[in-house]
Structure 1
Amino acid sequence: MKHKAFILFLIIGVCLLFAPGCKKNKPPDKPDKPAGRTTVAKNAPNEYTTKAHDPNNDEIRYIFDWGDNKTDTTDYLPSDSIAKATHAWADTGTYEVKVRAQDAKGALSNPSDGLEVKVVVNQPPNKPSVIGLPFGQPNIRYTFKTVVTDPEGDSVRAKFFWGDGRTPTWTNYYRSGDTIQDTITYTTEDTFMIKVIAQDNFGNISDTSSPFTFIVSAGAWSYITNEEFISSPALITDANRVTGIVIGCSDGYVYCFDTLGNKKWTYPDTANWTGASFYSSPCIGPDGTVYIGDEEGKLHAINPNGTLKWTFLASNDFNSSPAINATGDRIYIGCSNDTLYAINTADGSPAWKYPASAEISSSPVIANDGAIIFGEESDSGNVYILNPDGSLRHKFSALAPIVSSPAISGSKIYFAADTLFYALDT
């Protein structure tokens, strides 16, 4: 009996001797309450953060419970490091976000305090566009802008994609409708396609803008004609690369240059020259076709190589620049004979025409739903909104001649007449 007691006493002594070297693993402390937005938009990704301490200084991973029967687990991080996770809720409602920490030995912490998140229906900002110079030189800083509007009037920010591979960054937040800008310095000669997106303060992201072409060239160039240029240039692009710069001249020619200033073609060729001046600016179709009107009432469709595709003849001069619809199968142009024409781009045949009350010298614009908007130079200052089939949807009188083109943002039309600036719904 004494022998057994001695053995038991010896075992207890050995355990007590080595106990300090056999520490019990403790689970991580309760993580901090998650930090992040408390009101978010449905289906919009948002980031949340937390951190925790591990008594044994073990690495920790974090299990985010989003309150919608979904969880996300991070990689292992050093104790006291900030953990991040992103989530988008598919349904509206109120959710409680909690986090647990787990060390490398599998020990789990208690859940964190919950963060209440309200998920609401919210629309993303309207599709923005890039505003800036079309040409520049290397190693000079240029500013590009965008105007971002949000359907609910939420605060918005923008991110410019510069087309040269660099990582884009978000701007600060601004009020809906404010001008947002960012700057860029290119170091090489090339043609860059700049795009921009917008995000509201709920995390919703807009559609990406159409590409804006910015040509960087070290050497400026010029071309001299015998008559003045009144027309503005337009760009022919192919796979987001500028392949031609087109401009009409009052000498009766349309010129096309490459980005280095080399003349690619002149339209018409000398044998068919009529001397009719080109005062309006060209527009370019999706296939690279150039559309431009002259002072004798002829609308010209010019192939990308400078050859004639077709012409359409009206009874008076075209001072208005044409506009082409989203599908590229119809072009619209106003004439000095008080008529807006819709022309089929395939063959130049008229689709329909709409009689205004006076000369149309400003260019039409096309809304997202295909509506055509233009103004006339009468004292009534009528602004017409036509359906794609040529029927009248709405007419507004500004009581002063309309000589400038309207602008469209979402469902709003903006235009000026005399001393007044207007905003109308389409």
Structure 2
Amino acid sequence: MRRWIIGIAVVIGLTGAFAQPLPPITEPLFDTAWPTWGRDLRRSHFASDFAGPNNPVVLWFRRNGALEELAIFEPEIWVPQHPATGLRYTSYTFYDAASGQITGSFGPFWGVPSTPIFMNAAVIVVDNRGNLVLTIPWLALMLSGGQYECLLFSPSPVRGVRAISWTLRGFPAYRTGFGATTDGFYIYPVFADNFGNIVFLYLAWIVVVDSNGNILRVIPDYGGFIFDQIPSAALSSVSGTQDGLLLLLGFHNGLVAAIAVDPFAGTIDYAWFTSIQDLSGDEVASDSVDRPIAVTSDETMAIVCGSNSGRVYGVSLADGSRQWEYQAGGAIMGGPSIGPDPGNGNEDTVYIVVRHSPTQSAIHAIRASDGAGKWVRVLPNISRCTPTIDRNGVLYIGDERGFLYAINPNNWVKWQLYLGAPIRVAPVIGEFDFRGNPTTFMFVAASNRFLYAIVDRSVLSTQSTPGAGGVNTAPRSGGAQ
């Protein structure tokens, strides 16, 4: 087993810091409605704070759609796109969520993007003897990462000091979404490359002050290391518990690895391994873990999909042992998502999208506690879309013909809406100010052609004009440096 020592702060002289009260970073994700692909590190696609529209209407739409799930950085949405004209490099376009007006962009990047991940970094203030004065939560983010290059960015907390803007170019290529963990002081983004290298970065801002509180120097402390290399294993996804202290890595060769982070001991180490072959009892000789690994709301079980065999496994987070198996009978094309079923005590329910026939997909609802099938709904068309679930347990899912469906957790279709192009990216739900009121928005990408903002029709009961634009401290122009 490979065991890495973290606690990078010791290197720069903060020997007294860890004896102080608990640091400010208890969760690695920034406090926003949709800070990463799948909303949370559990990859649940459960929007616990919001209810989707009962009577949907398109408030605005823009060209270019989205290549991956957008992220929310209030009052904006950040959308990974290819431009409609010119060089077809990835860029991120920023839209004011309420009006749809473009407020900026960032790029270009070389290759296919991943959804941005917004993280809690820290500003660590110390005196000139290295004693901790205070810590302040701060913003950091990772961009691109789908292929060839990715960027670690954090705006400077002190005027006149350059932001951290560090581009890593592929060896040979990055093909995984980002995960993250923290030791309470440093943020550790996690991703991987096509050679099976598992890469941890680290970042914190160190501000040294004198006895009067005057700033003596600012140290942007960041870097990275290869945690391990698993030969012939390209990583497909990173997920974990919400605090990031147990990370779950799924590989295209069917391997699943759990990595435990102990901020008190300052170590990162493997907790357990399993594989599709082990979980199936050797009934499946080989399969891929191409779908993200989702974690139940009580954080006791991981949902692992054998993408090609159509098998779903409930796996104990404690030791990687199989708790149950569900056989869907076809390749898994979307999900897993996990949300509550209000009609059955709000029990966790797993939703997957399965190839049902050459022209149709089906949604399978599975009880998360024991793997029992609850219902199957055959869709009119093929779907490759991961369902998003609102606080009432309603599923929102698109198909290849451009239909968006709202499906109640009891398997009744609530409504459908036609948007004119394939919907392959999970809808994203957030709340924004619209006409002076907090309003729930749903953002849906129809392929790489159109991006739609959908609200409930009741929102349009007044005639005032939407406001424009927002300003943040994150990057706005230029490209990978």
Q: Give the TM-score, by structure 2 length.
A: 0.45
- Highest relative contact order (Cα 8 Å, sep 6+), 1 or 2? 2
**Partner of residue 129, structure 1:** 33
**Partner of residue 411, structure 2:** 390
**2:426 counterpart letter in structure 1:** S
- Helix, strand or coil: the match of 2:225? coil
2:443, 2:452 within 8 Å by CA — same for their partners in 1? yes
1:373 aligns with 2:382: no
Q: Percent identity?
A: 19
2:123, 2:137 within 8 Å by CA — same for their partners in 1? no
Q: Deviations over 1:173-203 (max 9, x none)?
A: xxxxxxxx966699xx714699xxxxxxxxx
Structure 1 residues not aligned, in runs of 5+: 1-126, 136-143, 154-159, 172-180, 195-213
Task: Report 1:35-74 matches (<5 A).
Answer: none
After superposition, the Cα gap between the structure-2 partners of 1:412 and 1:276, relative to the gap in structure 1 and judged at 3 Å, is same
**Partner of residue 157, structure 1:** none
1:313 aligns with 2:322: no
How many angstroms does 1:266 deviate by? 1.5
**Partner of residue 266, structure 1:** 273
Structure holding more strand per residue: 2
How many angstroms does 1:408 deviate by? 1.0
Q: Higher Cα Rg: structure 1 or 2? A: 1
After superposition, the Cα gap between the structure-2 partners of 1:396 and 1:193, relative to the gap in structure 1 and judged at 3 Å, is farther
How many angstroms does 1:258 deviate by? 2.5
**2:336 counterpart letter in structure 1:** P
Match of 1:360 among 368, 383, 393: 383
After superposition, the Cα gap between the structure-2 partners of 1:234 and 1:417, relative to the gap in structure 1 and judged at 3 Å, is same
The CA distance in 2 between the partners of 1:423 and 1:302, in whole Å, is 37
Task: Report 1:210-221 matches (<5 A).
Answer: 220-221=225-226
**Partner of residue 147, structure 1:** 74
Q: Deviations over 1:5-45 (max 9, x none)?
A: xxxxxxxxxxxxxxxxxxxxxxxxxxxxxxxxxxxxxxxxx
The CA distance in 2 between the partners of 1:145 and 1:266, in whole Å, is 34
Cα RMSD, aligned residues only: 4.0
The CA distance in 2 between the partners of 1:281 and 1:399, in whole Å, is 27
**1:190 counterpart letter in structure 2:** D
Q: Give the TM-score, by structure 1 length.
A: 0.50
**Partner of residue 183, structure 2:** 190
The CA distance in 1 between the partners of 2:252 and 2:368, in whole Å, is 25
**Partner of residue 302, structure 1:** 315
The CA distance in 2 between the partners of 1:328 and 1:215, in whole Å, is 38
How many angstroms does 1:366 deviate by? 0.7
Match of 1:285 among 296, 301, 322: 296
1:255, 1:266 within 8 Å by CA — same for their partners in 2? yes
After superposition, the Cα gap between the structure-2 partners of 1:346 and 1:232, relative to the gap in structure 1 and judged at 3 Å, is same
2:235, 2:249 within 8 Å by CA — same for their partners in 1? no
**Partner of residue 207, structure 1:** none
Match of 2:338 among 307, 315, 324: 324
Structure 2 residues not aligned, in runs of 5+: 1-30, 42-70, 77-95, 100-119, 125-132, 140-153, 159-163, 165-181, 188-201, 205-221, 262-266, 341-345, 432-439, 457-481
After superposition, the Cα gap between the structure-2 partners of 1:350 and 1:247, relative to the gap in structure 1 and judged at 3 Å, is same
**1:416 counterpart letter in structure 2:** A
- Helix, strand or coil: the match of 1:232? strand
Task: Report 1:192-271 matches (<5 A).
Answer: 220-229=225-234, 231-237=236-242, 241-259=243-261, 262-268=269-275, 270=278
How many angstroms does 1:166 deviate by? 4.5
Task: Report 1:6-25 matches (<5 A).
Answer: none
- Helix, strand or coil: the match of 1:223? strand
2:123, 2:136 within 8 Å by CA — same for their partners in 1? no
How many angstroms does 1:328 deviate by? 5.3
1:352, 1:390 within 8 Å by CA — same for their partners in 2? yes
Q: Deviations over 1:353-397 (max 9, x none)?
A: 2211223222110112321101112xx211111112110011112
Tell me how many residue pairs correspond in the alignment.
Answer: 251
After superposition, the Cα gap between the structure-2 partners of 1:370 and 1:245, relative to the gap in structure 1 and judged at 3 Å, is same
How many angstroms does 1:245 deviate by? 1.1
The CA distance in 1 between the partners of 2:257 and 2:406, in whole Å, is 33
- Helix, strand or coil: the match of 1:319? strand
The CA distance in 2 between the partners of 1:221 and 1:169, in whole Å, is 26
Match of 1:412 among 425, 428, 441: 441
1:223, 1:261 within 8 Å by CA — same for their partners in 2? no
**1:129 counterpart letter in structure 2:** A
After superposition, the Cα gap between the structure-2 partners of 1:328 and 1:220, relative to the gap in structure 1 and judged at 3 Å, is farther
After superposition, the Cα gap between the structure-2 partners of 1:184 and 1:393, relative to the gap in structure 1 and judged at 3 Å, is farther
The CA distance in 2 between the partners of 1:349 and 1:398, in whole Å, is 34
Match of 2:424 among 394, 403, 407: 403
The CA distance in 2 between the partners of 1:336 and 1:190, in whole Å, is 41
The CA distance in 1 between the partners of 2:134 and 2:411, in whole Å, is 46
The CA distance in 2 between the partners of 1:131 and 1:191, in whole Å, is 19
The CA distance in 1 between the partners of 2:368 and 2:186, in whole Å, is 27
**Partner of residue 373, structure 2:** 350
**Partner of residue 421, structure 1:** 451
How many angstroms does 1:163 deviate by? 10
**Partner of residue 103, structure 1:** none
2:121, 2:203 within 8 Å by CA — same for their partners in 1? no
- Helix, strand or coil: the match of 2:380? coil
How many angstroms does 1:279 deviate by? 0.7
Match of 1:336 among 350, 355, 364: 355
The CA distance in 2 between the partners of 1:250 and 1:151, in whole Å, is 36
The CA distance in 1 between the partners of 2:382 and 2:413, in whole Å, is 18
After superposition, the Cα gap between the structure-2 partners of 1:368 and 1:318, relative to the gap in structure 1 and judged at 3 Å, is same
**2:394 counterpart letter in structure 1:** A
The CA distance in 1 between the partners of 2:419 and 2:412, in whole Å, is 21
1:364, 1:372 within 8 Å by CA — same for their partners in 2? yes
The CA distance in 2 between the partners of 1:282 and 1:232, in whole Å, is 7
After superposition, the Cα gap between the structure-2 partners of 1:375 and 1:276, relative to the gap in structure 1 and judged at 3 Å, is same
How many angstroms does 1:130 deviate by? 6.8
